[in-house]
Amino acid sequence: MDRATVAELGLRARFGRKEPVEGRRGIVVTSHPLAVRAGTDVLKEGGNACDAALAAAAAQLVVEPHMTAVTGGLSMLYHDAASATSSYLNGNVAAPLTRLAGFGGADLSTGRGVPVPGWWPAFRAAHARFGTGTRNRLLAPAVQLAHDGFPVHPYLFGELYAHRAELGAHPQAREAYLPGGSLVAPGDTLRQERLGRTLQRLRDEDLDYYLGDFARAFSSECVRGGGVITPDDFHAYEPGWYEPVRGSYRGVEVVASAPPDDGGAQLVDALHRLETCDVPSMGPATESADTLELLARVHNDVYYAPARTGEEPAPAGGPRHGRMPSPGTIHVTVVDERRNIASITHSHMASPWVNGLFAEGTQLSGGGSFFQRGMPEPGRRARVYLAPNLLLSAGRPVLASGSPSVSLVACLLQNLVHLVDFGLPIEEVVAMPRFGARPHEPEHGWLPGVTLEHGFPADVDTEFRRRWAASGGWLSDLGPWHSLTGNFEGVTLDAGSGLLRSCADPRRNGAAEAY
């Protein structure tokens, strides 16, 4: 991308309503226009959905450092059109090989809350199985954006300002985010030279660097912060391929993430429960308190149930007081000309810069927040409710989607119901008000409740609140279009016309591009 394009796309990164896009060859949707362009450029050059999604995800390491990092995790649902098969890659964060005795909320802002990362091993595994482009090509936008810079967008600046104390306390953070002693301002250029060198070394040296200098620098910084990770943890980590979970809803097959990324199982379970109800006759949630209440209660039944997992957890230990990060996450959905589909969720699994620890130009993830959901056995994956998903009709994909945030399952459930049961256009669906999940609390962990956006008709809003309060339910207001209710990154596929459609969610700074 030339500098003019970077400047133009960077300034398009805004909150608020977006226009829908459509095309017949390929499409990319995610939470920053520069990452979207990185993906669509790869598609136009002949790359497939996996290539484009990985290029977009790598660019997001640079343009959305408040949401993802190479020290976090990456998971992908991939549909291969030629074989009509779907695979799920779990490259999520893992527990250290050394047990974290008595782990609790107070650990989340220290090195003890740093998990073993899986982002780069997962990137490599996805590229090896499904990618066609070179690693150099897929990382090129990320490297360029790190060295040349890009305009700081509103979401990023807000998080930089909120965490300026943590950033200001570390020299690697100061050199990027506070050059000259003050924060890079909205619209000004953010350059991350050290991160750019890290991406170049990953590109050129691969595991020699990742398991060598990178692992040693990461481990040293983690231990400095009170953690226990060593290079042995990096050597022991392996990304895993799983068979996705499957279900159905109104005659449509649902394919989604496999445990221990258990959001897919939650989504399938919730849709199965809803199938017994005549939701279409009740009306959309924006028109019916009955529908809104039903969706919220079904969501809470599955979301707050014991975590579904393919890996047995260890006892979590007693909770401790401390600040609980709200997971920061990104989702990318890509469909290519051959109708391969990549649905990637990647993240540092925590609030940004929560522990103030940095190595090789990037923060150390605080994703140990998910250990409070159930401590994994040493070296095993955290239980994370990611839910990349795919809907098929008569074996042909009709919808691919995913979402970030603590409310991602709620977000997906509401959007899928409004798309499937009511046939609403995607641009209308993403802009509808939503409920979300209750944020995690360090002293108690995951507790039932709902957060509620403004924007519902007064009669629906009033009746829902009355019923929820009468049942003793916890509820908190969010205001309109809040990022805690998720960010629907969906693509609809018309099997007859071949038309692809998407619309970026107003709750983040994203975009969609089609051609």
Pair of tokens at residue 145: 């954006």
Q: Characterize 9-46 residue by residue with b for buried, 16 or more Cβ atoms within 10 angstroms of its Cβ, and e for exposed.
A: bbebbbbeebebbbbeebbbbbbbbbbbbbbbbbbeee
Collect the ranges in the chain with pLDDT lower than 50: 312-318, 320-325
Pair of tokens at residue 283: 């009306």
- pLDDT score of 316: 39
What is the phi/psi pair of residue 490, to 5°? Answer: -120, 155
pTM to 2 decimal places: 0.95
Per-residue pLDDT reduced to its tens digit, 267-298? 999 999 999 999 999 999 999 999 999 999 99
- pLDDT score of 311: 55
- pLDDT score of 440: 76
Contact 18, 490 (CB under 8 A): no
**Positive or negative: CA dihedral 421, 425, 431, 437:** positive
Instruction: Name 171's Cβ contacts closer than 8 Å, sequence gap at least 6.
Output: none
Q: Where are the alpha helices (DSSP H) in 210-262?
A: 215-224, 231-236
- pLDDT score of 72: 97
- DSSP helix/strand/coil, 390: strand
**Positive or negative: CA dihedral 389, 391, 397, 403:** negative
- pLDDT score of 444: 65
Instruction: Name 397's Cβ contacts closer than 8 Å, sequence gap at least 6.
Output: 79, 335, 339, 341, 390, 391, 493
Q: Taking Cα atoms as reference points, which of 214, 237, 240, 218 lies closest to residue 227?
A: 218
Greatest alpha-carbon span in the chain: 61
Per-residue pLDDT reduced to its tens digit, 306-365? 766 555 444 333 353 334 345 569 999 999 999 999 999 999 988 899 999 999 999 999
Contact 515, 502 (CB under 8 A): no
Pair of tokens at residue 387: 């839910």
Instruction: Name 154's Cβ contacts closer than 8 Å, sequence gap at least 6.
Output: 13, 14, 15, 186, 509
- pLDDT score of 470: 97
